[in-house]
A and B are shown apart, each in its own frame.
Chain A
Amino acid sequence: MTRDDLLRVRDLSTRFLTEEGQVNAVESISITVRENEILGIVGESGSGKSVTALSLIDLIETPGRVTAGEIWYRHQDLADEFRESRPEAIDGDFVDLRKLPAGVRRSLRGSSFSMIFQDPMTSFNPSITVGEQIAEAVEVQRRARANPRSTRSRTQGYGLGQYLTSLVLPSAEFVSKESEAEAIELLEMVGIPDPADRADEYPHQFSGGMLQRAMVAQALAGEPDVLIADEPTTGLDVTIQAQILKLLEELQHQTGMSVVMITHNLGVIARTCDRVGVMYAGEVVERGKLSDIFESPVHPYTQGLLGSIPDLENPAPRLQPIEGNVPDLLDTEMGDRCYFADRCPKAMEECLRKPPEFEVGGEHQALCYLADHEYDETTALPPDYFGGEADG
């Protein structure tokens, strides 16, 4: 079954301008999300996974900024709407989100893109009941549908008039009864028992797993095309992790949405994803189908990642960790070389120049010279070439 592309990200870069200098958190990454699939993005801490997610949904905040690249999103209506006024942002049915006005991008949040976060405990407002917060997400989308974007009130009915009315008339609500009913349905859909009762409870009365389910419900309120799950299982214990992953898979099948699963856990990737991108130091160093990455990894970093997980059937006496740490991505300290070269067991002289993306075959690409030709020991870099930290 071939699936059509839904989201094509091309050469996306996100930089943070900090006092120490410019940090290239995401550097020129290209990924494609297809309809009805789960795309995994895996990498160590600090490799730019979360920033990638936030860049997709346009939630990068100062001092960060998406500095370059294109995010092509397939959306017939938007393409028709802007075909005349912004021809440079349209390509067939695809629109380049970065060239659309900020208001349009915001209107896509929730309805086209949605996101669930790592820590459900902090992702809910402690002073509002869970049901009401989900109902709020429903309400935002309801109002968005009721008012076409061109005429939509910028304040979503949160103007001074509404506020004063709510002070005088206690019945004036920010969230309608219909939305509350729908929130309960959503809670039921994500498998929360007694949804009507639980909806009236506050976040602290929920367990972590239940709250993560509730967050999934909140993210689904707008029936998004793409759900971005940023480490959805990291804060949970193992049995709950499995439940949440199962839930996400089921919901993905039910609704036909696409899921971008961001994690550092290769087990999660192996279990859920159709295709995978491996990130290192802000770059997607290798991407391809799940089988490509797990069975025939090309990039030494991917190989290292796979070597560092225990294999139950064929236990190695010791796991093979990757030596060293992710570079801190400060612009001044990053030369024009392969960023992994200093930790790479197979670094060669040509790795001091930045490798282009090589086709390995089919959908499998890697950012490594090894994808192009075999390891040549005669040009290998001496182990202490990068300052002799390799001994540690």
Chain B
Amino acid sequence: MVSPRVIRNLKREFRRSALAKTGLLLAFIVVFVAIFAPFVAPHNPTTQNLDNSRQPPLGFTRTVESTSSELVNGSVVIVNETKQVNATTEHPFGTDSLGRDMFSRVVYGARTSLLVGILGTLLAVTVGVTVGLTAGYKRGRLDDILMRSADISLSFPSLVLAIALIGLWGRAAVEVPDPWVVLGLVDGMPREFVLPGTVIVVVGLVNWVWFARVARGEALSIREEEYVKAARAIGASDLRIIWRHVLPNAATPILVLGTIQIAAIILLESSLSFLGFSGTTLSWGFDISQGRDYLASAWWISTIPGLAIVVAVIGINLLGDWLRDALDPGIEGEGGV
């Protein structure tokens, strides 16, 4: 399925486009960090240290004004003290309101985001491509029923739909043992991480429509190819034709859409955890909502996870653009400047 021509196109586009390089680098960093989170993170992301809360990130200081009163010679003296809290290399991104290391939290947050992004996209691809290929290949009434129901589910705003579904099903979360910790390779890190099950299902079900539409369009054109007719003439079943002839020839746009949808789903997951629907507390969106109350005094608690989202989403989108420009000669790339 992966022909030499595809690889050549990918390489050529990669050489030509600085954005593709950036995208691959960013995406690689996010994936690497997510997989090897226990090695990358310097601290346990859940360990609190209230004595060391709201420590600023490297290069910044925080001014703390504390007012205390003392009884000096029978009268109350109010002392205004201005203290500088300095950044330490121990917490390069600072600490949050409970003294947890922001860098470790961002590292672990990559896990949640990427897992939800990838698993949610896989679910959306499975549902959407199945529906789309069936609708496009069979046409007729089945096509109408499937695609109109897709349109109906598209008419709900995705965030509202997601919240409604989570409200309906609850926030089921699965605790998955962290293989690195279980194998004893790292000490002092959380023994398991939380897989927000409901969120994955919900983001998958909210986003399947895009895949259904793309797959249907491809199936509609591929089914008219002579080789599909030829396959039917030799007695191949519909399912065989869909697997062997339609799906492989529809794979490219689905792959490109899938990459871009991972980024969209990461955004949706962050919105959901920001609103408190995620089921895990190690998530970029959740950290942003935690830091909201401290925006005036400790901006980094919200800003740093926000930047992490930006990096991940931009990286994955650039990756998607690269795949699109390289694999789909029909579209002139805007990314190749």
Contacts and interface: CB of A to CB of B under 8 A. Distances in A.
A134 to B, nearest CB: 9
Contact of A140 (B139, B140, B234, B242): B234
Contact of B244 (A109, A128, A218): A128
Interface residues of B, number: 24
B140 to A, nearest CB: 6
A117 B139 CA distance: 23
Interface stretch (B59-67, B70-78, B221-229, B329-337): B221-229
A108 B235 CA distance: 7
B230 A109 contact: no
B248 interface: yes
A110 interface: yes
A218 B248 contact: no
Contacts of A109: 232-235
Given A107-B235, A136-B236, A163 B243 contact: yes
A155 interface: yes
A123 B234 contact: no
Interface string A27-42: 0000000000000000
A122 interface: yes
Nearest to B140: A62
B237 interface: yes
B237 A117 contact: no
Contact of A215 (B3, B230, B240, B242): B230
Interface in A108-142: 108-111, 113-115, 117, 119, 122-128, 133, 136-137, 140-141
Contacts of A218: 230, 234
A125 B229 CA distance: 11
B224 to A, nearest CB: 9
Given A117-B230, A122-B225, A156-B240, A141 B245 contact: no
Contacts of B239: 154-156, 158-159
Interface residues of A, number: 39
A174 B243 CA distance: 10
B86 interface: no
A168 to B, nearest CB: 15
B246 to A, nearest CB: 10
A99 interface: no
A367 interface: no
B227 A110 contact: no
Contacts of A117: 226, 229-230, 233
Interface string B79-123: 000000000000000000000000000000000000000000000
B153 interface: no
A110 B235 contact: yes
Interface string A322-343: 0000000000000000000000
Nearest to A154: B237
A353 interface: no
Q: Is the interface of B mostly helix, strand, loop or mixed?
A: helix
B249 interface: yes
Contacts of A222: 234-235
B237 A141 contact: no
A111 B244 contact: no
Nearest to A111: B235
Interface in B244-259: 244-245, 248-249
Interface in B204-241: 225-227, 229-237, 239-240
Interface string B14-50: 0000000000000000000000000000000000000
B244 to A, nearest CB: 7
Contact of B237 (A106, A124, A126): A106
Contacts of A106: 235, 237
B1 interface: yes
B228 to A, nearest CB: 8
A196 interface: no
Contacts of A137: 234-236
Contacts of B234: 109-110, 114, 136-137, 140-141, 218-219, 221-222
Contacts of B249: 125, 127
Interface of A: 57, 59, 62, 106-111, 113-115, 117, 119, 122-128, 133, 136-137, 140-141, 144, 154-156, 158-159, 163, 174, 215, 218-219, 221-222
15 contacts: A59-B229, A109-B234, A117-B230, A117-B233, A123-B227, A123-B229, A123-B230, A125-B227, A126-B227, A137-B235, A137-B236, A154-B239, A155-B237, A155-B239, A158-B243
Q: Which 6 A-B pairs have the closest CB atoms?
A: A110-B235, A109-B235, A115-B233, A122-B226, A110-B234, A137-B234
Interface of B: 1, 3, 139-140, 225-227, 229-237, 239-240, 242-245, 248-249
Given A125-B244, A137-B236, 12 more contacts: A59-B233, A62-B139, A62-B140, A110-B233, A110-B234, A110-B236, A136-B236, A136-B244, A140-B236, A141-B234, A156-B239, A219-B233
